């Protein structure tokens, strides 16, 4: 049967439960775009995106259970792309000659890929060392009982070459922010940078302090 690209991962690992996360780094809920091409075909290049492939026979009208004399060889491909890129990838697959396309919104994976977080700040420098040794965010989150999204945040910083931090958020000095606002020398964005906070926080402090200038 055709199924969905997300179900292909479960079929490949022979599991319909969360046990398969120990067999592969690709969780079914990560797959957001998929397509099927009748062979022979030329597939689009997905680059470094997580991609799963399925090789099987399919009836041209996509009906039935994979039996009969009218089956043709196909290649199915499922890709993990972010929400904003889903439509672009669907269109790319269609332009490449896909006979069938599919998409779904990504789902929150914290409860599936990581156990309850300890709540302790992440040591970014330590994680950087693990990334440099070849560890993936999925492996670190699973082995250290951390939330995958939190580890990915640090991984993205490492990929961009940003220096590591200790992961802690220092309290904002409201008095210093108020003084900067009253001085009239800086924009809201500049005040945020000076005090290591966001522009929105600066506006909130200004409103709460009743500053009208």
Model confidence at 173, in pLDDT bands (50, 70, 90)? confident
Return the SS3 of 144: helix
Residue 32 lies in a domain: yes
The total number of residues written for the chain in this structure: 213
Q: Which two tokens stand for residue 204?
A: 């909130």
Q: How many domains does the chain have?
A: 3
Pair (62, 124) in one structural domain: no
Residue 55 lies in a domain: yes
Pair (79, 17) in one structural domain: yes
Pair (49, 135) in one structural domain: no
Pair (80, 19) in one structural domain: yes
Model confidence at 14, in pLDDT bands (50, 70, 90)? low
Pair (140, 71) in one structural domain: no
Residue pair 198/169 in contact (Cβ under 8 Å)? The answer is no
Dihedral, 154, 156, 162, 167 alpha carbons, nearest 10: -20
- Would the pTM count as exceeding 0.85? no
Q: Cα(213)–Cα(197) distance, rounded to whole angstroms?
A: 20
Model confidence at 15, in pLDDT bands (50, 70, 90)? low
Over residues 81-102, the mean pLDDT reads 88
Which residue do the tokens 């790319």 mark?
Answer: 92
pLDDT digits (tens, 9 = 90+) for 33-60: 999 999 888 899 988 888 889 888 887 7
Residue 70 lies in a domain: yes
Pair (82, 148) in one structural domain: no
- pLDDT at residue number 30: 81
Q: Which two tokens stand for residue 202?
A: 């600066």
Pair (154, 186) in one structural domain: no
Pair (17, 97) in one structural domain: yes
Pair (178, 155) in one structural domain: no
Q: Cα(70)–Cα(59) distance, rounded to whole angstroms?
A: 6
Residue 116 lies in a domain: yes
- pLDDT at residue number 78: 92
Q: DSSP alpha helices (H): ranges in the chain?
A: 5-13, 86-95, 110-113, 124-132, 137-144, 148-159, 174-183, 188-194, 199-209
Look up the domain containing 29 and give its range: 5-103
Give Dmax (Cα) for the chain. 81
Residue finishing a domain among 57, 85, 103: 103
pLDDT digits (tens, 9 = 90+) for 110-140: 444 444 444 556 788 888 888 888 888 878 8
pLDDT digits (tens, 9 = 90+) for 98-110: 988 988 887 654 4
Residue 204 lies in a domain: yes
Over residues 184-209, the mean pLDDT reads 84
Residue 194 lies in a domain: yes
- pLDDT at residue number 118: 47
Q: DSSP letter at 19?
A: G
Over residues 22-42, the mean pLDDT reads 80
Mean of pLDDT over the chain: 78
Pair (22, 99) in one structural domain: yes
β-pairing, 33-38 vs 51-58, is: unpaired
CA distances for 126 relative to 47, 66, 88, angstroms: 28, 50, 37
Residue 150 lies in a domain: yes
Pair (91, 22) in one structural domain: yes
Higher pLDDT, 105 or 13: 105
Q: Cα(135)–Cα(148) distance, rounded to whole angstroms?
A: 13
Alpha carbon 130 to its chain's center: 20
- pLDDT at residue number 34: 92
Which residues is 180 bridged to in the sheet? none
- pLDDT at residue number 112: 45
Residue 47 lies in a domain: yes
Pair (70, 88) in one structural domain: yes
């Amino acid at each position: 049967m055709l199924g969905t690209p997300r179900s292909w991962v479960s079929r490949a690992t022979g599991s319909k439960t969360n046990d398969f996360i120990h067999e592969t780094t690709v969780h079914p809920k990560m797959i957001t775009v998929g397509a099927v091409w009748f062979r022979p075909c030329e597939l689009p290049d997905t680059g470094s995106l997580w991609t799963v492939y399925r090789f099987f026979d399919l009836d041209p009208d996509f009906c039935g259970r994979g039996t009969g004399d009218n089956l043709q060889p196909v290649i199915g491909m499922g890709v993990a792309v972010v929400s904003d890129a889903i439509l672009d990838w669907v269109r790319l697959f269609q332009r490449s000659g896909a006979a069938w396309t599919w998409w779904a919104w990504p789902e929150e994976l914290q409860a599936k890929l990581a156990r309850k977080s300890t709540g302790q700040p992440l040591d970014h420098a330590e994680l950087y060392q693990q990334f440099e040794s070849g560890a993936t965010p999925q492996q670190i989150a699973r082995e250290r009982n951390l939330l995958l999204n939190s580890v990915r945040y640090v991984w993205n910083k490492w990929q961009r070459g940003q220096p590591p931090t200790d992961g802690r958020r220092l309290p904002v000095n409201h008095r210093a922010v108020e003084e900067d606002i009253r001085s009239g020398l800086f924009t809201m964005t500049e005040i945020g940078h000076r005090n290591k906070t966001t522009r929105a926080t600066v506006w909130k402090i200004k409103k709460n302090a009743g500053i009208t200038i």
